[in-house]
Amino acid sequence: MANLVTAGLDGSRESVAAARWAAREADLRRVPLALVHVEEWLERPPLPVASTEAQRHRTDELLREASEEIKRLYPDLEITSRRLPGIPATALAHAAASSDMLVLGSRGLGSIAGFILGSVGAGTIAAADQPVVLVRAPHGPATSPEDFRIDGAIVAGVDTEGPCDAILSFAFDEASRRGCVLRVLHSWTPPPILGYGFDLGPSVQEEIGHGIATAVDEMIRSWCEKYPSVDVTPEVRIGQSAIQLVDASKGAALVVVGKRIRRSAYGTHIGAIAHAVLHHAAAPVAVIAHE
């Protein structure tokens, strides 16, 4: 790992919230924090724009003010800042490659809990192989470190039929650092045959659920041995995975989901479950890439 937490900063309230969340994470990990701003310039902009010098002056002011604010909150935290040229999603994904994680802000859905995943966030998550955390600005006029829950549990969504080591590694490590409960959540839906009028009966569903719970226990066993101090609560729920994860995000400090690394140029490269959780979760969401 690079021993560095990076936050994307564009001046929006959401990016300021992300920078402060990233600062707390960097302080927790005892690693430096890097603040980055991506400058994207068009050869033929549709509207007149300020000169490059004026734009860079505003960017430098933004990075300086954010650094000073975070330094007041975390005096011992090492902070660096820099401007990056290029397309935002590509440049941020490149910055993530040299970091333990990249933290971005995401616009909230107003009175509805959750995020609006913009093109920059979606593109960055799709392109990045390192963990990307999306943070929504809390309601209210100000954002302080106390606005983010740290006493809640970490919720990790797993699939017993897919590779989850990267997700579990991140989730267990994060729970260990925070000293909080880790909820490992797997959801399943009854077989499609039930839609044709067949009734498996409570005993059969209970047997299926027991088998899945056993598989989840087996999946996390080695991680529990590696992190004996982590209080782990495996959960098996009936229902769609995205809905169950969104429900579990209420009161959580962080939700951890996975996305497959896809080399194809086509598709969203995020996955339906991660995409839904990113839009609707009530807590920050960490997206972990895996093969």
Q: What is the mean pLDDT of residues 221-248?
A: 95
Query: What pLDDT score was predicted for residue 264?
Result: 53
SS3 for 255?
A: strand
- Residue 24: which of 151, 123, 113 has the closest Cα? 151
In this structure, which long-range contacts are made by residues 218-221, counting pairs with CB atoms below 8 Å and at least 24 apart in sequence? 219/158, 219/160, 219/164, 219/168, 219/184, 220/168, 220/184
Q: What is the mean pLDDT of residues 231-257?
A: 94
More confident residue, 177 or 266: 177
CB 122 within 8 A of CB 92: no
Superfamily of domain 5-143: HUPs (3.40.50.620)
- Residue 137 is given by DSSP the state P
Tens digits of residue pLDDT in 155-172: 999 998 888 999 999 999
Tens digits of residue pLDDT in 82-128: 988 888 888 998 988 889 999 999 865 443 444 556 677 788 888 88
For residue 22, with 0-12 CB atoms within 10 Å meaning exposed, 13-18 middle and 19 or more buried, which class applies? Answer: buried
Task: Tell me whether domains 5-143 and 154-290 share a fold.
Answer: yes
* Dist. CA 113–CA 129, nearest whole Å: 27
Banded model confidence at residue 291, pLDDT cuts 50, 70, 90: confident
Tens digits of residue pLDDT in 4-49: 999 999 888 889 999 999 999 999 999 999 999 998 655 455 555 5
Cα 138 to Cα 17, 62, 69, 144, 146: the distances in Å are 8, 20, 18, 9, 10
Domain ranges across the chain: 5-143, 154-290
Query: What pLDDT score was predicted for residue 51?
Result: 56
Query: What pLDDT score was predicted for residue 209?
Result: 79
pLDDT at 210 over 70: yes
Banded model confidence at residue 151, pLDDT cuts 50, 70, 90: confident
In this structure, which long-range contacts are made by residues 227-231, counting pairs with CB atoms below 8 Å and at least 24 apart in sequence? 227/172, 227/173, 227/175, 227/176, 229/176, 229/179, 230/172, 230/175, 230/176, 230/182, 231/175, 231/180, 231/181, 231/182
SS3 for 178?
A: helix
For 199, residues 6+ apart whose C-beta sits below 8 A from its C-beta are: none
Query: What pLDDT score was predicted for residue 19?
Result: 95
Mean of per-residue pLDDT scores for the chain: 83
Query: What pLDDT score was predicted for residue 45?
Result: 52
To the nearest whole percent, how much of the chain has pLDDT over 90?
Answer: 50
Query: What pLDDT score was predicted for residue 142?
Result: 47
Query: What pLDDT score was predicted for residue 26?
Result: 96
What CA dihedral angle connects 181, 7, 11 and 112, to 10 degrees? Answer: -30
Residue 141, number of CB atoms within 10 A of its CB: 5
More confident residue, 251 or 182: 182
pLDDT at 150 over 80: no
Query: What pLDDT score was predicted for residue 158?
Result: 95
Tens digits of residue pLDDT in 211-233: 899 999 999 999 999 999 999 99
CB 148 within 8 A of CB 138: yes
Query: What pLDDT score was predicted for residue 39?
Result: 81
Q: What is the mean pLDDT of residues 247-257?
A: 94
User: CATH code for 154-290?
Assistant: 3.40.50.12370
SS3 string, 151-163, reads: CCCEEEECCCCCC
Token pair 């995975």 is at which residue?
241
Query: What pLDDT score was predicted for residue 290?
Result: 80
Report CA 189 to chain centroid distance, whole Å. Answer: 25
